[in-house]
Every structure is written in C-alpha cells, then in structure tokens.
Amino acid sequence: MTAYDELMAHARETEALAQVAGRLGWDQETVMPRGAAAQRGEESAAMEGVLHARRTDPRIGDWLAAAQATDAVAEANLREVRRAYERANKVPAKLAAEIARVTSVAQGVWAEARATEDVAAFLPTLRRVVALRQEEGQALAQGGDVYDALLDDYEPGARAAELDEMFGALRPRLVALRGAILDKPQPAALSGRFDETAQLALTRELAELFGYDFARGRIDKAVHPFCSGSGNDVRVTTRTDPADPFNCLYSTIHEVGHASYEQNVEPDYLLTPIGRGVSMGVHESQSRIYENQLARSPAFAGWLLGRMRDSFGNIGIDDPMEFARALNRVSNGYIRTEADEVQYNLHVLMRFDLERALMSGDLNVGNLEAAWNDRFAADFGFAVDKPSNGCLQDVHWSVGLMGYFPTYSLGNVYAGCLHAALRADRPELEAELARGDLSGATTWLRDKVQRHGALMSPRETIQAACGAVPSEAPLLDYLETKFGALYDL
C-alpha cells in the first residue's frame, strides 16, 4: 500500500467511528431515556477520546509527508486530512474529551431549564461550556482571533470581520423591507386543528417529493429539528403543532435539504474526508433554498394548497395567492426557527454579535439574558416575554457550537446566489413548481453542489455553481421582489 492508501484506510475507520458517535447524539435527541443523560455523557467523552487519538495519530504526519496526490480527489482528501490533523493536534486530548462530556450533559440541563423557564438553572453549565470553548479557541488560534478559530470549524476560511461587513450590508435593506411589510394588513391565517398523524403523513410525502431517500433515512420527532449522518444513513427529525402544520412541514423540508446534500455526495467519496458537506454555510444553502425559494414560492403554494385540503379538509383559505401570503406571513415573533425570510437573518445577526462578545469576554455569561433581551427589543421593537422565547430557545450554545450561528445567514446568502443561477439555467422552473415537480430543481442542486461534497472549498463550491463570487445582493433582490409582489409594496 502507498502512503496515501494507508492514510485513507485510517481516515475511513475514523469517519466510521465518528458516524457512530453521531448516532449517539441522534439517539439522545429522539429516544434515549431521560435518566441516561449522565451515562451518555461518559459514553460521548469516551468516543471523543478515541476519535481524538485517531485524529492526532503521529502516523498521519508521516503519511502526509510521504503521500502524493494523483488527481483532484486525492488532493482534496489530503487537504482535508491535513487541516483536521493540524487542528486536532492543537487541542489537548483531555480538553477534547471534557468538552464532549460537558456538552453532552449540558444539553439535558438546557432542555430542563427551557421547559421550566429557569435561566439561572442553566447559567452555571453554560459558564463551563463557554470557558471550555474559549480554552479550545485559544489553543486553535495560537495568538490569533479566538472566534475566527472557532468559526473555522463550521465555515473553513471564513473570518468574522468579513461576515460582519456582509451582514452589515444585509441589515439596512432587511429592516426597511420589514418596516414596509408590517405597515400592510396581515394576510389570512390557517384555521382549525391539524391532526398529528395527517401532518406526519404529508411530511413524509413532501420529503420524498424533495428527493429524500427513505431507504437510507428516517424521520423522527425531537424538540429541535435536525439532520444527522451522511452517506447511506442520514436521519432527520421534525416536530408537530396541532395549530400550525407549517411548523412540521417546513422544518422537515428544511432538514431534507441538509439530508439530500449528504445523501447525494458521490458514492465513491463515502467515509472519506471529502464525503460530506463542505461547510455549514453551504449546507444551510441547501436547506434554505429547499425551504424558501422552492417550497415557499407562490408557484409551489398553489400545488401545496390542494394537498393541504386533501389532508386536513377546510383550512380556512381557498385562494392560492392568499395561501402564498399565509406561507410567507411576516409578523412579530420570538423564535428564530419560525421566523419569516425577511426577519430570519436579523435573529441570526443578533446571536452572531452576542456569541462573539461571549467568546471575547466582553459579555459575562451572567449578563447574557439581559443582553439578549435588550438587543431583541432594539432589533425587533418589542420585549421578550419568557426565557424559552429568548436566550433559552436555541440548543446551540448548550452543546458548545460557538461560531455556528453566522453560517445560517451565510447559507441564506449562498442560497440567494444559487437561486438566481437556477432560475437562469431553468426558465421552466416556475411551471415545474406549480405542478409540484421538484425534480428539475433538486437535480440541478445535486449536480451543481451536492455531489461534490468537500471536493472544493466552500466559497469555490458556490462560485463554481453560480459562476460568480458570492454576494448578498441576489438574496436581497429576491426578497424585495418576492415580498413586494406578495404585499403589494
């Protein structure tokens, strides 16, 4: 075997073990008994210890020095292994295992605090998580910017200063568009009670319509919808609300966007360093374009209205355009995951600023709730009513995902670029959506983005698909055009 072959054999085993570790997380969120939380923390820490040892194995350095890339795939695999190896060796094994142990337990503490509206019960645990991630960031940054070092885990090559500039360009036009819309009369809302079994049945139909392969996946219920796994085992979760079927349907379509990315990576890349989505920003571009530009389009709304009537009977809306307005309703709300397209990025930008302050030490964990509430009132114009609608609403900080939040807005920017390119390539898109035919759009996304996995860098992946450097302009133009028509602006 060549050095490259030995390196890839080692990498495949490591990735297989990482998938097992990920399955522990899926189990914890879906079916694990509540009493198992402490033990699961020990199990997760043990798995992280094994993975860290494999990722820092000195033989990797020897293999990297001797390996030769014979093609673009090998070159990309070596790039990814080298990056992971260098990062893993900067973090002490004891610290990596402690982060895994603490965040596994913290997730349960957060869930309990959220259920009881008790921020104080969560703060000691969050303080420990923040301290551990600060320590990790310092180890990774080696004198550089701690937040940038953490951000690089989720969006390789991205820098907070660049994102701050992009997000700064987003904010004024989003605020202006929101203000214009909120001055208009609110669209009609759905009425009635929506049976959970019927919601889940329609959800499954939509998942298949958007290309999700149930032979290699499944849908389960969880508090916070998510996607887990890659290759031939990619699972999604959803949640139901008897008064709001859109919550179930659209959170599922969103997660199916993530899942389709993982299911559609080239099979030859399975369990290799490039056999997964290249970054969370690119991942989010897939979930957001599935959920918003495709599934919330006025064209698709007419088709979905018919399926909603078939599933639930009278839903209080008969006109397709009124239904499209209901799907794209812009109204005051607390929850990021339920926010409309116009306001969603404002939720993310707030979290981006707060977590940067936490990581730099400018914001003390004990002051987080007050800082959140003050910023929310300033950005959205009304007060947070309870912690589960405020600083306890997201799972991310409890599991240590500092640096993750900005990838949501970056994903929206990427989705805007991809949608513009998709429409240019497929002038028949609107007619296809009106028939409930997603095959053209999902095939385009598979070929342009998903099948490549991590063959290219995140920015290169989007630029190759769109033929242009990513910019916030297509997203803003799309939002102003779409919502201008829906709200007669």
What amino acid positions are annotated as catalytic residues? Answer: 255
Long-range contacts of 457-463 (CB under 8 A, 24+ apart): 457/156, 457/157, 457/278, 458/155, 458/156, 458/157, 458/158, 458/278, 458/279, 458/281, 458/282, 459/157, 461/278, 461/282, 462/282, 462/285, 462/414, 462/417, 462/418
Helical residues (DSSP H) of 426-451, grouped into ranges: 429-434, 439-448
Return d(Cα 364, Cα 353) in angstroms, integer: 13
Return d(Cα 457, Cα 414) in angstroms, integer: 13
Q: Which residues contact 190 (CB under 8 A, 6 or more apart)?
A: 244, 245, 246, 315, 316, 317, 326
Taking a C-beta distance cutoff of 8 angstroms, is the pair 244, 190 a contact? yes
Give the strand pairing for 219-221 and 233-238: parallel
Return d(Cα 126, Cα 277) in angstroms, integer: 29
User: What is the full DSSP assignment across 451-464?
Assistant: GGTTSS-HHHHHHH
Whats the size of the chain, residue-wise? 489
Taking a C-beta distance cutoff of 8 angstroms, is the pair 201, 249 a contact? no
Return d(Cα 417, Cα 474) in angstroms, integer: 6
Burial class (CB in 10 A: 0-12, 13-18, 19+), 113: buried
